């Protein structure tokens, strides 16, 4: 990650869609967790357009990004299994116009 630090656990969970999107979990980032989204540039065959996602209600030790999954239809799921000691799942949708997840 462009803002990565030691012990972020970047790469703990990874998923890729068939449409040129990649998500990488970093469940210990800033002690709350995050997920990084990348888009494949099919012309240069390189990954770019990094977008960092954090949970809307994140707290220390939530482990947001410990599990990630993507669909081929523009959906992203990020798990935070320690959120409030019960766990949570967050769903994001790709905005194909801006190529951002929200």
Give the model's confidence band at 43: pLDDT under 50 very low, under 70 low, under 90 confident, else very high. very high
Q: Is 60 exposed, middle or buried (0-12, 13-18, 19+ CB in 10 A)?
A: exposed
pLDDT tens-place string over residues 60-75: 999 999 999 999 889 9
pTM: 0.91
pLDDT of res. 49: 74
DSSP state letter for 87: -
What mean pLDDT is reported for the chain?
93
Helix (H, G, I), strand (E, B) or coil at 34: strand
Stretch 12-38: mean pLDDT, rounded? 95
Helix (H, G, I), strand (E, B) or coil at 89: strand
Q: Are strands 64-70 and 46-53 parallel, antiparallel or unpaired?
A: unpaired
Q: Taking the domains of the chain in order of start, what are their residue ranges?
A: 13-101
* Phi, psi for 35 (deg, rounded to 5): -135, 140
């Amino acid at each position: 990650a462009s803002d990565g630090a030691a012990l972020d656990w970047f790469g703990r969970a990874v998923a890729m869609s068939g449409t040129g999107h990649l998500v990488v979990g970093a469940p210990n980032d800033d002690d709350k967790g995050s997920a990084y989204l990348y888009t494949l540039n099919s012309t240069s065959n390189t990954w770019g357009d990094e977008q960092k996602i954090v949970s809307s209600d994140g707290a220390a030790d939530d482990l947001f990004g410990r599990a990630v999954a993507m669909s081929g239809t523009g959906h992203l799921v990020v798990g935070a299994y320690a959120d409030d000691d019960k766990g949570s799942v967050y769903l994001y949708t790709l905005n194909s116009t801006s190529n951002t997840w929200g």
